[in-house]
Structure 1
Amino acid sequence: MRSSAADIYEIAMGRWSRRLARAFLAFVDAPACGTLLDVGCGTGSLTLAAATRYPSADITGIDLMPDYLGEALLNAAPNVKFETGDAGNLPYEAASFDAAFSQLLLNDLADPQQALHEMQRVTRPGGIIAATVWDRAGGLAFLRLFLDAAAILFDGEGEALRARIFKVPYHDEDALLDLWADAGLTEIGTATLSIRMDFLDFNDYWQSLLGSHSLIREFFTSLDGEQAHNLQSAVRRAYIAGNMDGKRSLVASALAVRGIHAA
């Protein structure tokens, strides 16, 4: 049986991370027969997409959350294993993998530089190290519907919420490029990857939104009844945009970076 944490993640982000994984793996271009490491694998979206793309590779997914790993194990492929571990202290020997990558992780870590250092340590010289993060301010329409409405309705508090969510260390391609360059990686490339977030109706959108970020949930649940109603109504009006409630497809963009671990 799936855990509540895995259920929330699936509704809020899992279905989108699977779509992003395909575009990200095409950008990474890992060796088809190599040993690959997915750092912060969550419920296994990227790991399992890699297993499909590289059926001859040996792929490891690692994450700190046992609930997420339990969900990942439900769909494990023959060439995949999942393990519990910390991105900042990977439990592997040096030069164990031909490529190490992470999806939607770096901006949620207390020390992303340490995580990158660990990815370098466990990757052989000449191997690939890559990551992708959401373009929160410029590329996530589903977040802006809520955050812009909150900023208008609640002035200081809503504006502060928007600023906190959008203020992340790696907010554009240049920031990711600098992180990779400062770490001594070579042949660095960046890209913007886009997917569509398809919602069945406003309720589907709303459930995904509330599960997407703890600060959004905390802000909304802190409102009194009238405030919560007014905010949800404003977001609903933005979602339906003068039409009937129903399916909507919103653009979501992520920033990606790739480099080679120099000898």
Structure 2
Amino acid sequence: MNATIADTYEIAMGRWSRRLSRSFLDFVAAQSCGALIDVGCGTGSLTLAAATRYPNADIVGIDLMPDYLTDALRSSAPNVRFETGDATALPFTDDSFDSAFSQLLLNDLEGPAGAVSEMVRVTRGNGRIAASVWDRVGGLPFIRLFLDVAAIVAGQEGEDLRAKVFDIPYQNEDDLFDLLSEAGLEEVDTSTIAVRMDFIDFDDYWQSLMGAHSLIRHFFGNLPADLAHEVQQATMRAYLGGKPNGRRSLVASALAVRGVVPV
């Protein structure tokens, strides 16, 4: 059976984004009732975590890709609805929500400031705006492990891949602080959140890796067969660390920021 986009994301990142959601919501500290919006909700990890934490809130999850918004997801919680829409042009009127948050979206957008501006527009005064992104350069070791191997084994092509994956906006807490401050938010604060990524074995790690980033999939899929085998074997040796195949645990970090909409 062919895996859907939602299935691929769940294997690659969904399980980790669910873990991140719980700690991120602790940091967000949103109101326990009212109207909340999850911008760039994907397969709903943060949306559903919010629905469980805030059963008296009305929560909207919105994402540009309708393939993420499966029938099962749409019917998963009574206080949630899902819609298709662009984070940089949210289909809601001004002051529609009491809080707006976004997880693992901003540094994949061409215009992150536009998305923040929209979150501010649709949120009432004194409402909370918050976002989190993976610390991709220094805090995402399951990707870093492969990219360093690729740079060594595949030469310039591998080095170019590593540069592209890491060449993103908002690579540290200061960048995120400036992003929300420049959007006019008050009481801006940042934090780094740790998430443990547990893999059953190398095959589990590899499956997650290949679903994690389109550039990685494209790079590996287009390597000559002998070089692809060499890269995979070298990555496996790095994963195993001289021990038998089996469970490994890598700690990732996410950068989080929050602020308050002025009255």
TM-score normalised per structure 1: 0.97
Corresponding position of 1:43:
43
3-state SS in 1 of match to 2:204 = helix
Is this contact kept in 1: 2:154–2:231, CA < 8 A? no
Greater mean alpha carbon deviation, residues 155-164 or residues 29-38: 155-164
Is this contact kept in 2: 1:3–1:67, CA < 8 A? no
Q: Provide closer, same or farther for how the CA distance between residues 20 and 97 of structure 1 changes in structure 2, counting only shifts above 3 A.
A: same
Q: Give 1:249 shift.
A: 0.8
Q: Give 1:86 shift.
A: 0.7
The separation in 1 between residues aligned to 2:75 and 2:161, in whole angstroms, is 36
Corresponding position of 2:8:
8
Consecutive unaligned residues in structure 1, runs of 5 or more: none
Corresponding position of 2:240:
240
The separation in 2 between residues aligned to 1:120 and 1:168, in whole angstroms, is 23
3-state SS in 2 of match to 1:187 = strand
Corresponding position of 1:142:
142
Q: Percent sequence identity over matched residues?
A: 65
Corresponding position of 1:87:
87
Is this contact kept in 1: 2:74–2:82, CA < 8 A? no
Question: How many pairs align?
Answer: 263
Is this contact kept in 2: 1:12–1:212, CA < 8 A? yes
Deviations 1:214-236, CA, capped at 9 Å, x for gaps:
00011101111110010000100
Q: Give 1:89 shift.
A: 0.7
The separation in 1 between residues aligned to 2:2 and 2:93, in whole angstroms, is 32
Corresponding position of 2:59:
59
The separation in 2 between residues aligned to 1:138 and 1:180, in whole angstroms, is 22
Corresponding position of 2:78:
78
The separation in 1 between residues aligned to 2:125 and 2:31, in whole angstroms, is 14
The separation in 2 between residues aligned to 1:179 and 1:74, in whole angstroms, is 32
Q: CA RMSD in A?
A: 1.3
Q: Give 1:73 shift.
A: 2.1
Q: Give 1:117 shift.
A: 0.6
Corresponding position of 2:204:
204
Q: Give 1:74 shift.
A: 5.4
The separation in 2 between residues aligned to 1:141 and 1:18, in whole angstroms, is 18
Corresponding position of 1:260:
260
The separation in 1 between residues aligned to 2:72 and 2:235, in whole angstroms, is 33
Is this contact kept in 2: 1:43–1:72, CA < 8 A? no
Q: Give the partner amino acid of 1:126.
A: N
3-state SS in 1 of match to 2:177 = helix
Deviations 1:18-53, CA, capped at 9 Å, x for gaps:
000001000000000121000000110000000111
Consecutive unaligned residues in structure 2, runs of 5 or more: none
Alignment of 1:106-255 (within 5 A): 106-255=106-255
Runs of 4+ in 1 over 3 A off after TM superposition: none
